[in-house]
Structure 1
Amino acid sequence: MKKLKTKKWLNWTSGILFVLILSLGFVSANNEERNFSIVKNLDIFYSLFRELNTYYVDKTDPGELIETAINAMLESLDPYTTFIPEKEMEDFNFMTTGEYAGIGALITRVDDYVYISEPYKGFPADKAGLKAGDKIIAIDGVEMKGKSTEDVSNKLKGPANTEVKVTIERYGSEKPIEITIVRKNIQINPVPYYGLVEDNTGLIILNNFTHNCSEVVEQALEDLKKQGAEKIILDLRGNPGGLLDEAVKVVNLFVPRGSEVVSTKGKIKQWDKVYRATKAPVDTVIPLAIMINRGSASASEIVAGAIQDLDRGVIVGSRSFGKGLVQTTRNLPYNTKLKVTTAKYYIPSGRCIQALDYSHRNEDGSVGYVPDSLVSEFQTLNGRTVYDGGGISPDIVVPRDTFSNIAYALVAQQTIFKYANVFCAEHKSIPEPEEFAVSDEMYNHFTGFVLSLDDFKYTSASRERFKKLVEAAKSEGYYDLNKEEFEALEEKLNVDVSFDLKNFRDEVEDLLANELLKRFYYQEGAIKYALKDDKVLKKTIEVINDEGYYRGILNGTVLSHAGDRLRR
């Protein structure tokens, strides 16, 4: 019976493939050689697939084999051309719309269980009483031990207005708690915070370019102006992008109708398009600054790049990610899709956002060093010199924060998360974000908690460098000659957790405060606290308050980093 089913499946696949091959043969009569190559290689692939399914020693899953083949094929292209199987469609829709049906909470995996990481304020999980730190031990009676975050997420999601029973363990509670939650359509606010950071300077934080986000930004802008804002800062740090049309509409809030914002150019010329501001703007003269970093990508780079090229505002921070490739979603059979790169983005000066070589990037995927030989000059509307080569270089560069190894370890090993569970069980409140500070008593308590953990381990930066030194010394023959000295130095470089917690208190303290404030005041509270000591924001306020300096950057009388090749 299994052989018969496999044979029917292969015959059906063969028929589909035959039709595909025939159709490809008529795509272009002027490209017979290419069409023959396509038909030839599809025939080879089908024959190999048929032989593999028939004769391979172990049982194979045709669907898994094909998906593996598809993914491997697409990986040979750019990083953004991807296959979206049916099981991932819900996540894909959430990325583009910011909307899904579920309980409204972030989750995270800690050891063998998935925990509630952050319930969104006012959404079903929050209203039902779920709290950050709750361990999910069962959903609708099904044990969740050992399940992945994806498995748990799928169980929590479901049609709106349906119930889901979540059994949790909460630190400090003796017995498990069962909570019934009614799922709702969840629309994540793309603007988690806006407000006055000075008497006349407004800040808008935009996290994603999801559907209608431009309307939310416009409402925030109008409200800030009513509150007395005479200058605007748009924070796009960490914004990974989203919908192109929304990026154009956000730029349109600040530039005259008819202004070119971005254009797309690809292989299919009839798809090339110039996107312009089509509506009446809200304000074309209010001083504007945009903050970006390596996490600002795609639509964020279109907004920052267009504002820079049109000399409408100054850009502050660090160079952006460098994603300037346009993806078009094509429907495939059985509720699957292909997200395929079809063009590149070009901002008003004519430069391309995309890194020239997307195969050599930093560890986080952002654009790495680009040699001068691959960089071209372009001119902004006022004649300022800017460069391509990948991403947007800010007018004012503020060096990125780098974290110590112990800070990374505290986050990666969920140590701060675990401590917050203990702290929140013992404390019912903390001061408001504007007044909150990590006291010596609190930090000492945290230090004691970390030192009590047997499984908290990490390697210091010094020890990592020492390891490389030893490797080099051994390869050159110096290690054996100085073995005692190397061993003595190694002993001195052993990790001292207590010392590192004291030495790197400032950054550890910020991470701890962020986690605690999210527990008591949600995401907005954590944002308010972070803004108090945000050096990029402080520099941006300094620039936008100095009218002569601000105008000098835009008219080219003050040299900015974006036009300084030596600082690339």
Structure 2
Amino acid sequence: MSKEENKPAINNSPYVVRMPIIIGITLAAGILLGSTFFSGNKNMKEVARGYSKFREVLMLVENNYVDSVSTEELVDYSITKMLEKLDPHTAYFNVEEAAAARSQLDSGFDGIGVEFNIYNDTVYVVTPLSGGPSETIGILSGDRILKVDQEKLSGPGVTNADVFKMLRGKRGTKVNLLIERVGLKENLTFTVTRDRIPTYSVDAAYMVDQEIGYIKVTRFSETTYDEFKSALMSLKAEGLKKLILDLRGNPGGYMERATSMADEFIDGNKLLVYTKGKDSRFDKKTEAHIDGIFEKGPVIVLMDEGSASASEILAGALQDHDRALVIGRRSYGKGLVQMPVKLSDGSELRLTISRYYTPSGRSIQKPYEMGKGEDYSQDLSHRYESGELFNADSIKLDKSKVYKTDGGRYVYGGGGIMPDVFVPRDTLTNSKYLFELYAKNIIREYALKYANTQQKKLVKSSFEQYLAQFKVTDAMMKELIKDATLAGIEYKQAEFTRSRPLIEAQTKAIIGRYVWGRNHKGGLNNEVYRVLNPTDNVYREAIHHFSQASDLEAGNFSSLKTQD
């Protein structure tokens, strides 16, 4: 055999032929991007050398690697892994992921309805989206999704695209989830029926009595401010004088919607939030500038460990200006600002460009180490295990990051918004039997069945009469238990007795929504909240603290315990 015959045949694909052109364009675009965002940076030579090395390795793999590979997948994987060396919130989305992620805030979609994050190759539920099927069956913030239809959804290489592909799907289709939940030794199995995920972000707006109004905001999407403003004006027309603003479980969204809402409460041109980054072009101050709808009147804000980002911006502004009493538990602690950069192929980089600060100067970003996302992702579990969710004394405040509100009250940075009034998580009605009812959707299915058979009788009265007079009977509970047993859930009397108040309340709430709630426009679920809120310990605490909220608005801080 001649030497000429020993040479490998050159048979480059069209992609390989175009590779130098593609990489040349990418390199030029990268340098342009770098010069745009980081002009004058002394490290640009290092960036250029990095591009050159990456191009060299990519070409060697494409031309010489023993097996066929997808260069596009390698590039996506490389970018994802590179960004893991940065903060926990900088992220890359390929074309499909970017479109799916944008739909969370901009338009509706079919799926199970969860806001999630991937940390250390594990999918964590940030919060179930209000009104969606995951919330309905009892998925909670902090749950870890281990498997979807017996297919593993954890481990090295899990991507946003994997999650979207497995969890989204045509409405009406079912999906089985294996969930790991903090505080439980055994994993849980949930069957979720995919549905249209509501695009509305104001989930409830109603008058509690002749003076107190309640508004629940579930996320900060494109339409949130308009929805909120409309709800607030409607309540004012009904006599609103005191307001409960519920931001629990709200994972955030558009910062501008949060500051616009804050401006409805805060007078003058007071500072609402400011941002600071490495590049001064990302430094920005946002101030109040309009005559707000509710600049007078006591306000109470409800928060918990699922309240993040834009929720914390709104609550921080109101707390720092002594405009609202914050009740609940320490919020999530996300104080980093991401700029979405749409790349040439439709993919998207969400790059952390600055930190935001509340008017008093505090950053509420909780601690993290660059490139070490595991502890960060486990934060909610750590809070549970440390007892922080149940005892205010277990909250570890960083005394080196102390600030003062306008009125001189102490507040702390470096780990979320601390409540003015702490309320522990209520677990008194929790039981494994209850979680199994959630997992197999028993409560909702029974309530809908009852509503269908009794609707003609129920609609003869108003919802107000139903709310005051309707009782979930022993006979109804026996039917529900029977349905659960047929579904394979073993009846455990002690656990049922413990959870019965919540089972009855949720049954009544779902019946009420089904019979009367369809008359609402704008996606409101007032019937559900009007039934369930009186059973909620944080809500009940809020109702009893309007005297303190009034003192706060009046500048009388003697009745308020400062966090010192």
TM-score, normalized by length of structure 1?
0.71
Deviation at 1:205, TM superposition (A): 1.6
Deviation at 1:303, TM superposition (A): 1.0
Residue aligned with 1:348, SS: coil
Residue aligned with 1:225, SS: helix
Deviation at 1:63, TM superposition (A): 2.1
Q: Which of 349, 352, 362 lines up with 1:341 in the alignment?
A: 352
Structure 2 letter corresponding to 1:557 = S
Residue aligned with 1:450, SS: helix
Deviates more, 1:348-357 or 1:261-270: 348-357
Deviation at 1:542, TM superposition (A): 1.1
Q: Please give the per-residue CA displacement for 1:43-100, whole angstroms capped at 9, x wherever unaligned.
A: 3322222333334444322222222222222223223212222223443333333x34
Q: Which of 530, 541, 544 lines up with 1:542 in the alignment?
A: 544
- The equivalent residue for 2:270 is 259
Contact 1:95 1:242 in 2 (8 A): no
Structure 2 letter corresponding to 1:443 = M
Q: Which of 366, 386, 393 lines up with 2:418 in the alignment?
A: 393
Q: How many Å separate the matches in 1 of 2:64 and 2:456?
A: 66
**Relative contact order (alpha carbons < 8 A, sep ≥ 6): 1 or 2 greater?**
2
1:556 aligns with 2:551: no
Q: CA RMSD in A?
A: 3.9
Contact 1:233 1:291 in 2 (8 A): yes
Deviation at 1:274, TM superposition (A): 0.7
- The equivalent residue for 1:451 is 485
Q: How many Å separate the matches in 2 of 1:23 and 1:329?
A: 17
- The equivalent residue for 2:254 is 243
- The equivalent residue for 2:71 is 62
Contact 2:320 2:406 in 1 (8 A): yes
- The equivalent residue for 1:84 is 93
Q: Which of 532, 535, 560 lines up with 1:533 in the alignment?
A: 535
1:309 aligns with 2:320: yes
- The equivalent residue for 2:200 is 189
Q: How many Å separate the matches in 2 of 1:167 and 1:365?
A: 31
Residue aligned with 1:501, SS: helix
Q: How many Å separate the matches in 2 of 1:443 and 1:266?
A: 57
1:478-497 matched pairs, under 5 angstroms: 497=492
Structure 2 letter corresponding to 1:558 = S
Q: Residues 272 and 350 of structure 1: is their aligned pair in 2 closer, same or farther, counting only changes over 3 Å?
A: same
Q: How many Å separate the matches in 1 of 2:27 and 2:537?
A: 62
Q: Residues 5 and 365 of structure 1: is their aligned pair in 2 closer, same or farther, counting only changes over 3 Å?
A: farther
Q: Which of 488, 496, 500 lines up with 1:505 in the alignment?
A: 500
Q: How many Å separate the matches in 1 of 2:379 and 2:441?
A: 20
Deviation at 1:501, TM superposition (A): 2.1
Deviates more, 1:412-421 or 1:296-305: 412-421
Q: How many Å separate the matches in 2 of 1:242 and 1:367?
A: 25
Q: How many Å separate the matches in 1 of 2:285 and 2:206?
A: 34
- The equivalent residue for 2:125 is none
- The equivalent residue for 2:179 is none
Deviation at 1:535, TM superposition (A): 2.2
Contact 1:331 1:338 in 2 (8 A): yes
Q: Residues 154 and 383 of structure 1: is their aligned pair in 2 closer, same or farther, counting only changes over 3 Å?
A: closer
Q: Residues 546 and 44 of structure 1: is their aligned pair in 2 closer, same or farther, counting only changes over 3 Å?
A: closer
Contact 1:309 1:381 in 2 (8 A): yes
Q: How many Å separate the matches in 2 of 1:558 and 1:442?
A: 46
1:75-474 matched pairs, under 5 angstroms: 75-97=84-106, 99-100=107-108, 107=112, 188-357=199-368, 359=373, 360-361=375-376, 363=378, 368=383, 371-372=396-397, 375-402=400-427, 403-417=430-444, 419=446, 428=455, 431=458, 432=463, 434=467, 435-454=469-488, 456=489
- The equivalent residue for 1:172 is none
Q: Residues 550 and 526 of structure 1: is their aligned pair in 2 closer, same or farther, counting only changes over 3 Å?
A: same
- The equivalent residue for 2:44 is 35
Structure 2 letter corresponding to 1:307 = L
Q: Residues 151 and 521 of structure 1: is their aligned pair in 2 closer, same or farther, counting only changes over 3 Å?
A: farther
Structure 1 letter corresponding to 2:563 = D
- The equivalent residue for 2:53 is 44
Contact 2:90 2:352 in 1 (8 A): yes
Contact 1:265 1:273 in 2 (8 A): yes
Give structure 1 stretches of 5+ with no counterpart: 110-116, 122-131, 134-144, 158-165, 169-183, 458-495
Contact 2:224 2:257 in 1 (8 A): yes
Q: Residues 201 and 429 of structure 1: is their aligned pair in 2 closer, same or farther, counting only changes over 3 Å?
A: same
- The equivalent residue for 2:4 is none
TM-score, normalized by length of structure 2?
0.72
Q: How many Å separate the matches in 1 of 2:224 and 2:377?
A: 29
Deviation at 1:441, TM superposition (A): 1.6
Deviation at 1:301, TM superposition (A): 0.8
Deviation at 1:209, TM superposition (A): 1.7
Percent of aligned pairs with the same amino acid? 27
Residue aligned with 1:262, SS: strand
Q: Which has the larger radius of gyration?
A: 1
Deviates more, 1:193-202 or 1:281-290: 281-290
Residue aligned with 1:198, SS: coil
Q: Please give the per-residue CA displacement for 1:177-222, whole angstroms capped at 9, x wherever unaligned.
A: xxxxxxx9x9833222211102211112222222242233223222
Aligned length in residues: 466
Q: How many Å separate the matches in 1 of 2:351 and 2:211?
A: 44
Q: How many Å separate the matches in 2 of 1:364 and 1:516?
A: 36
Contact 1:294 1:366 in 2 (8 A): no
Deviation at 1:530, TM superposition (A): 1.2
Structure 1 letter corresponding to 2:339 = T
